[in-house]
Amino acid sequence: MERTLKSKEDYLQHFAPQDYAKTYYSLSLGTSSENTILTFSLKNLHKVFILDGLKGDTLIDIGSGPSIYQLLSACECFREIIASDYTDQNREEMQRWLRKEPGAFDWSPVVKYVCELEGDREKWVEKEERVRRTIQQVLRCDVTQANPFSPLVVPPADCVLSTLCLEAACKDLPTYSSAMKNVGSLVKPGGHLVLVASLESTFYMAGQNRFFCLKLGQEDVDEAVKGAGFDVVWAQLGQLIYSLDVCNNRSIYALVARKKM
């Protein structure tokens, strides 16, 4: 049976950013499970940031991976975005896109889709430039540490966003609950936490490599969020699954929570 990778060292050695991005974020023509889940996330992030008006000075994105899709709506609502990831190669892949280097992953189909949600598909070049201006730091983070940015000290933000990260980074529920508190500590009192989580999955693929995913129910996420000092103010459950050879999830869960004062 194929080995499931789960350690921090496994991620540093075996996680391939472009393989991961091509699998989940290509937004190819036609309908695929991966496209459906990506557009679910984009529509909900559009609702949270653009339609519902969640905004502020600083947003921290925890576990960005090599991805910028999750920041396409947020960049319109925050003066500064701090992106972050545990692996060197994911941070470098994001930097390649920020620097417009040849061979960087092409996010333009996803950017055009979000611009269409916002009412003008043709503004996608302007949108890419806004993302590049707004992402002002790409930091190393480890959600299992009390200060995920240690030894750096980052001031608490108006909003912390995390998509498809914690369930991949945590080996069990106690670790997940602890990580949620660590991430929650980065939010100002009265600020917001925005999550997108894959539910009931035990693995996901990045290229030919199979990575561990913590099997979570909706109630597990809610309890961890509340335990970190937040009140859930909005949630959306999508009965959407990835292709079975890619990930064995049962649904996708998006939520917004407000930190108690």
Q: DSSP labels for 67-111? A: --GGGTTGGGTEEEEEEEESSHHHHHHHHHHHTT-TT----HHHH
Whether the model clears a pTM of 0.75, i.e. scores above it, the answer is yes
Q: Dump pLDDT digits (tens) for 176-199.
A: 999 999 999 999 999 999 999 999
Rounded to whole angstroms, the Cα distance separating 177 from 221 reads: 8
pLDDT of residue 189: 98
pLDDT of residue 32: 87
pLDDT of residue 30: 62
Q: Which residues in the chain come in under a pLDDT of 70?
A: 1, 29-31
The DSSP element (H or E) to which 192 belongs, if any, is strand 187-199
CB neighbour list of residue 245: distance below 8 Å, 6 or more residues apart: 205
pLDDT of residue 127: 97
CB-count burial class (<10 Å; 0-12, 13-18, 19+) for 140: middle
Closest CA to 170 of 42, 7, 1: 7
Q: What percent of the chain has pLDDT over 70?
A: 98
pLDDT of residue 3: 87
Strand 230-238 with 209-212, pairing: unpaired
- The helix/strand/coil state of 43 is helix
Q: What Rg value do the Cα atoms of the chain yield, rounded? A: 17
